[in-house]
Amino acid sequence: MEDRKRLEEIVNQINLYQGQADIIQQQIETIRVSISDLEVVESTLNNIKGAEGAETLVPVGAGSFLVAELKNTEEVIMSIGAGVAIKKKIKDAKELVAEDKAELQNTMNKMANNLQKISEILVQLSPEADELLKSVKESEG
Amino acid sequence: MELPKNIQHQIAQFQQIQQQAQAISMQKQGVELQIKETEKALEELKKTEEDSDIYKTAGNLLIKVKKDEINQELEDKLETLKLREKTVKRQEERIMKKLQEMQQSIQEAMQGSGTSPGLGT
């Protein structure tokens, strides 16, 4: 009876930790997507210098493009969140992107640490649950 | 071992409220995230010159706006969000208290009927 009770407790704990681990994993994936989005901006800002007058294709959806000419490569309009965008000098924009990226990477590292801790707990709990399950089966079978 | 009907009913109710609590908690997280985003945008706006080009998103379009107008709009938005945060927090506290009470009552009922409590909380 004691074993069964402990087994129930451990199974509940494992389910709870597993659920938390899944949520953290999803959040890490979301952050990873945001970081790679920022890397695209970073690369564009790095390569746009001196490309004034260059022909470019502007995406208008469904794989369709308009032909355009780059008019201004000194400034960029960038989102600052909350539905607001500001015109910024390329240098300032790069700084902002770098700040956002560092912040996201920091958060991602913290989350990866938490995930690691949860995984370690799960690794510790699983063998105990297996043992208890065996003993419950033996005593009931 | 079959659980008594009244305990089964209590557990079902408990799980329903637990789902509601999760939904409220997600709502709270969403509001907190919006508050953080709005505060960050306001901070960034402060750093910009008065005559800077500032745009507001309207679907796929960007519409040019005046700095003081958008500043006021964001301040108002922040105030509304903070109010919403307070309400959601209160809702969360209430529902968590209810969950604790229900958990206690289920555990007592289970001990009374000789079954072991095994709620995933």
Q: Encode pLDDT of B25-82 as tens digits.
A: 999 999 999 999 999 999 999 999 888 999 999 988 999 999 999 999 999 999 999 9
Confidence band of B121 (pLDDT split at 50, 70, 90): very low
Owning domain of residue A46: 2-140
Closest-CA distance of chain A to residue B54, Å: 5
Who contacts B119 (Cβ-Cβ below 8 Å, separation ≥6)? Answer: A12, B11, B14, B103, B106, B107
Q: Report whether pLDDT(B117) > 60.
A: no
d(CA A85, CA A87): 7
- Give the domain CATH number at A121: 1.10.287.370
Backbone angles phi, psi at A51, to 5 degrees: -95, 20
Tell me the whole-structure pTM to 2 decimals. Answer: 0.76
Residues of chain A contacting B44 with CB distance shorter than 8 Å: 80-81, 86, 96
Closest-CA distance of chain B to residue A51, Å: 22
Closest-CA distance of chain A to residue B53, Å: 5
Q: Report whether pLDDT(B110) > 90.
A: no
In CATH, what number does B45-111 get? 1.10.287.370
Domain count of chain A? 1
Which segments in chain A show pLDDT lower than 70? 1, 141
Report which of residues B93 and B59 the model is more confident about: B93
Question: Is residue A23 less than 8 Å (CB to CB) from chain B?
Answer: no
Residues of chain B contacting A9 with CB distance shorter than 8 Å: 118
Comparing alpha-carbon positions, the chain B residue that sits nearest to A100 is B40
Contact at CB, B120 and A15, closer than 8 angstroms: yes
